[in-house]
Each structure stands twice: as structure tokens, then as C-alpha cells.
A and B are shown apart, each in its own frame.
Chain A
């Protein structure tokens, strides 16, 4: 990306300077060649915009954020993307943050990401979101790719598992999967097995793409052509595998550490949320449930399908409380199948409550990632959203497939 014009990201915020995290925002932006700026408005604009917008926030910095948002929508200030940030646990700011996000998305073509920070927020946490934001703003050509060409390798270094696929002329010809231990070691393991299955040598690969938490480390090690965060890669991979490259779709990826919900239009992410308050809303809670039930995680899905989730009260808003209700339910004599179903329901509910509210759900809803193989979880999510959820083939390899697909755009560059 060297030499490219920086992506200009407008910041609408209340509190990051006084929380001591503004520096982290600047750092995350600098890492993806983005530049934060504060849209310029006059005092008279603030008073007018605030009245026009009609949301009676009392805090002056939120009024200022509203005026800045209006300046972006009206076009009096130009930007490539918008970053909205307010303090975690502030309800006044949460209302403004959500309404501004909706307002900008409905009235402009600017990509928006919103985030609520604490004083512990670090640049690393913001990086993935900032990278997705700048990619959507400036690299649309890259995301327009619909077919994989040549011989490419995609590696997804996730927090729980590492995956790799080898693709040749729009087909998957080799896969590898292992729990993540050492980032590089795990990557080497999965690459070796994917190459073996494909009957290919690493030297024959024409382009490599990496994604996931370890993307920079393995990207550097294997001299990847494309190092890309998982929000754009996964949404691309999902619509590709589901055969939904045109029109609307929603991608849900319940990961081992955090979850992604992405609203996609023609294969390009629109709104997205990433995070989750606690691992109680992630695949990690299901792993714990399986352990407690004395079964493999692969057995949890089929077991849950035999149970009735409503028979067991469970709320995994917090993983500790979730585990307590798990222990209590078993002590009360509930069947393992009901408990498994309840755990699936609880995770689905948390994702629904914490994240899907921020994304406009448009059908088809595609579930990807390792957790999409847990049928019980897919069923509960479908019930909550009242839709038939699509789980494409190779859904657990979504990041690797997306990386292999997108990296094939770099073959001609060599």
C-alpha cells in the first residue's frame, strides 16, 4: 500500500481523548495507511444540525458529533470512511452512536464502523476494524473478484484453530486444519497437509493470502501477496461458497474469541460488527460445554439436535454465569441433550442481542466458521432470526477460501 494516498477517516466521538485512547486510534489508523480527521463545522452549524437531527443529547461533544455527521452526509466535508467511537457503558452516547451509524448508512455511501471503548482499548483491538473500513473504502476492486484463478493458497490463523486451503481454477483441491498452538507451527502444519492433499509443492503456488489474528506473522513468514483482516475476507468467502455473490446477504461467524456479523451487498461488506462482551457469546462457551458433558465438540451439534433448549434456563452473557447454569442444570438432572441444546440457544441469543441488532439482517443468512458445523447452534440461530440459515460447503475454511480467492488477483503482478 506504500505510496497510496492515505484513506481519510472522519472521527465522530465523545471521550477517547479523556480515556487516554485517542493515541491508540491514531496508531491503528496509521498501521493501515489511514488518517483520522475531525470534520470541520462552525458553532452555528452545531446548533442547527442538532435541532434538525432531533435527538436531544445533552452532552455537547455528542451534539458536535451529530453536526459532524450531518456535514459528512450533506457533503460539505469529504471523507472516505467514518469511525464512530464513544465510551463503553454510556447510554446517552450509545443512543447517539447507533443513530448516527444508521443515519450515515442510510443517507450516504460512506462505510462506517462504530466502537465503544474503555481505557483498556488498544490499537491492536481497533486494527481489524480499521483495516476492514479502509479496505471497503479504497480497495473495492480487490473485493470485486468472483472467481479464483491459477493455483493459490489461503491460510487463516484464528484464535482457536488454524486452517489452510489450496485452490486451483475455482476449485478447492486441498485442506488443512489444526487447533492453534504456535502461530507459525500451526500454519506450517496445515499448509503441509493442504499441499499434500492437493499433491502440490509450495514452490508451485502462484499466490498466497493470509487472514485471522496471526495474519501478519504468517504473511511475513510465507511472503504472502495478500494479508487481510477476516471481516472482508470471510464475507467474500461466504458469498462465494454459498453462490450468493450478487445481491444482499448476511454473514454470521461465531468464532473462538469474537464474533462477526456482516451485512453484505454484492459481495462487499456494508455494516459489520465484531466483538462480543464475553466469551460466553462465542464458540469458546460451546467448547466448555462439550468438555463438561464429556463429549467431543464435534458431538455437541448432533446431541443438541436431540434436546429441547427451552427445558433448561441458561444465560451465557458472562461465561462464568453461563458455566454456573450449566453445572446447575446437570445437577438438577436435566438430560445432556437438553443442556447441549440450551448452550447452543444461549450463544445464539447472545450474538442476537449483542451484535445482530446493529446489522440489518437480510436474507440469505449465511453461517460460517467452525461453529457453523454445530447443527444445534445453526438451528437455534435460525429460530431466533426466523429464517432457514445457509451453511455452505467448506464453511469452516471460510477465511482460507476467501484468502485463496482474493489472492489470485495478485498472480499477474509477479
Chain B
């Protein structure tokens, strides 16, 4: 039971997830674009998009370029582990790592964020009442007015 020494790989690099949830861009298209401009950044394709690993500045440049292709539908997040790390691999754990479920949850409502970004970029302003609801510390209750509006906006 001697304690093994741990020698990290990928020291000094950063890894980021690039999620794409778009009607216009598939993960494959995003990957092709990334390979074109990668310049030494390591790219791993996944079902939701990409994982990119490299020097911090190179990763930032790559991500800035990728974002331009579909700004409202590409989302980026830091990852602690390098890609394909056996400690986080589904095959080794028998099931998804816990963080996966958190992503699954947020990806379930990311379309609202995408729409919000598009609306904001189109110059729309949110209603004060809705801003108040979204900023409320207590879990918000749907107001009657908004409930009616939602019902009426549903197609028959």
C-alpha cells in the first residue's frame, strides 16, 4: 500500500469545454472550424461539442474565434481535468461523473439563455417585473398575469 507519487501531465495548460446547442452549427462543424484555426491547441470532439487544451492565451484566441461562428449558441466553461483523463472517464467509473448531471441540467434550459442573448443583441429590453422575478432570492412564483400570457401564447 505504498503511496505512489503523482506526476501531472499537461502542466501549465488549460482545458475548456465548448458546448454547442444550435440549429445552425453541429458539433462536427464546430470541430472542423476548430481544427482549421487550432495552432497547436489540442482538440477533442465530444457529443456536446469540444474539449480544447493548450497554453492559456492560445486557448483564449481559439475560443474567441469559435464564438464568432455562432455567438448565441456556443457556451464555454473551464475544466479541471485534461481530456480523456481516466479518473473522470465514464467507462472506468461505471457511470457518469457527477458533474455531467449538472451540465445535463443546464443544457436543458440553455435555449432560454440563447434566446435571451439574441433578443438582447437585437436591442430588446427585459420588462422590469421579469427582472425583479429573476433576481428574487426566494424561489419565484409565476404571476397570474404571466401565466395567462404564457397560456395565450401556446398554439392550439
Residues 63-121 of B contacting A (Cβ, < 8 Å): 90, 93-96, 98, 101, 104-105, 108
- When distances are taken between beta carbons in the complex, the residues of chain A under 8 Å from B104 are 42-43
CB < 8 Å neighbour of B98 from A42, A64, A123: A64
B122 within 8 A of A: no
Name the residue of chain B whose CB is nearest to the CB of A47.
Answer: B105
| Interface segment, one of A32-40, A83-91, A183-191, A340-348 | A32-40
- When distances are taken between beta carbons in the complex, the residues of chain B under 8 Å from A330 are none
B1 within 8 A of A: yes
CB < 8 Å neighbour of B93 from A27, A38, A41: A38
Name the residue of chain B whose CB is nearest to the CB of A37.
Answer: B94
A306 within 8 A of B: no
CB < 8 Å neighbour of B1 from A40, A77, A123: A123
B101–A38 CB distance below 8 A: no
A40–B98 CB distance below 8 A: no
CB distance from B114 to the nearest CB of A (A): 20
Residues 40-59 of B contacting A (Cβ, < 8 Å): none
Question: Looking at A10, A36, A40, which has the most chain B CB atoms within 10 Å of its CB?
Answer: A40
Given A27-B1, A123-B1, the answer on whether A39 and B95 have CB atoms closer than 8 Å is yes
**What's the Cα separation between A124 and B1 when bound, in Å?**
9
- When distances are taken between beta carbons in the complex, the residues of chain A under 8 Å from B90 are 40
CB distance from B92 to the nearest CB of A (A): 9
**What's the Cα separation between A133 and B93 when bound, in Å?**
20
Given A27-B1, A123-B1, the answer on whether A46 and B101 have CB atoms closer than 8 Å is yes
A61–B95 CB distance below 8 A: no
- When distances are taken between beta carbons in the complex, the residues of chain B under 8 Å from A41 are 95
B94–A38 CB distance below 8 A: yes
B1–A37 CB distance below 8 A: no
CB distance from A24 to the nearest CB of B (A): 9
CB < 8 Å neighbour of A40 from B94, B105, B108: B94
CB distance from B46 to the nearest CB of A (A): 17
A38–B1 CB distance below 8 A: no
A40–B95 CB distance below 8 A: yes
CB < 8 Å neighbour of B95 from A27, A37, A60, A124: A37
| Chain B interface residue count, Cβ-Cβ cutoff 8 angstroms | 11
B96–A40 CB distance below 8 A: yes
Name the residue of chain B whose CB is nearest to the CB of A24.
Answer: B1
- When distances are taken between beta carbons in the complex, the residues of chain A under 8 Å from B98 are 61, 64
**What's the Cα separation between A39 and B90 when bound, in Å?**
10
CB < 8 Å neighbour of A43 from B1, B95, B105: B105
Question: Looking at B1, B93, B104, which has the most chain A CB atoms within 10 Å of its CB?
Answer: B1
**What's the Cα separation between A39 and B95 when bound, in Å?**
5
CB < 8 Å neighbour of A37 from B93, B101, B105: B93
- When distances are taken between beta carbons in the complex, the residues of chain A under 8 Å from B108 are 43
- When distances are taken between beta carbons in the complex, the residues of chain B under 8 Å from A124 are 1
Chain A, residues 115-140, CB within 8 Å of chain B (1/0): the string is: 00000000110000000000000000
**What's the Cα separation between A60 and B105 when bound, in Å?**
12
**What's the Cα separation between A40 and B108 when bound, in Å?**
19
**What's the Cα separation between A278 and B90 when bound, in Å?**
39
Name the residue of chain B whose CB is nearest to the CB of A8.
Answer: B94
- When distances are taken between beta carbons in the complex, the residues of chain A under 8 Å from B93 are 37-38
**What's the Cα separation between A41 and B93 when bound, in Å?**
12
Name the residue of chain A whose CB is nearest to the CB of B101.
Answer: A43
Name the residue of chain B whose CB is nearest to the CB of A123.
Answer: B1
Chain B, residues 4-26, CB within 8 Å of chain A (1/0): the string is: 00000000000000000000000
Name the residue of chain B whose CB is nearest to the CB of A68.
Answer: B95
Name the residue of chain A whose CB is nearest to the CB of B95.
Answer: A40
- When distances are taken between beta carbons in the complex, the residues of chain A under 8 Å from B101 are 43, 46, 60, 64
- When distances are taken between beta carbons in the complex, the residues of chain B under 8 Å from A37 are 93-95
CB distance from A85 to the nearest CB of B (A): 15
Residues of A within 8 A of B (CB): 10, 27, 36-43, 46, 60-61, 64, 68, 77, 123-124
Residues of B within 8 A of A (CB): 1, 90, 93-96, 98, 101, 104-105, 108
Q: Can you list 12 A-B contacts with CB-CB less than 8 angstroms, sorted by A residue number?
A: A27-B1, A37-B93, A37-B94, A38-B93, A38-B96, A40-B96, A41-B95, A42-B104, A43-B105, A60-B101, A64-B98, A123-B1
- In addition to A40-B90, A124-B1, 17 A-B residue pairs with Cβ atoms within 8 Å of each other are A10-B94, A27-B1, A36-B94, A37-B94, A37-B95, A38-B94, A40-B94, A40-B95, A40-B96, A41-B95, A42-B104, A43-B101, A43-B104, A43-B108, A60-B101, A64-B101, A77-B95
A-B residue pairs, 4 tightest by C-beta: A37-B94, A40-B95, A38-B95, A43-B104
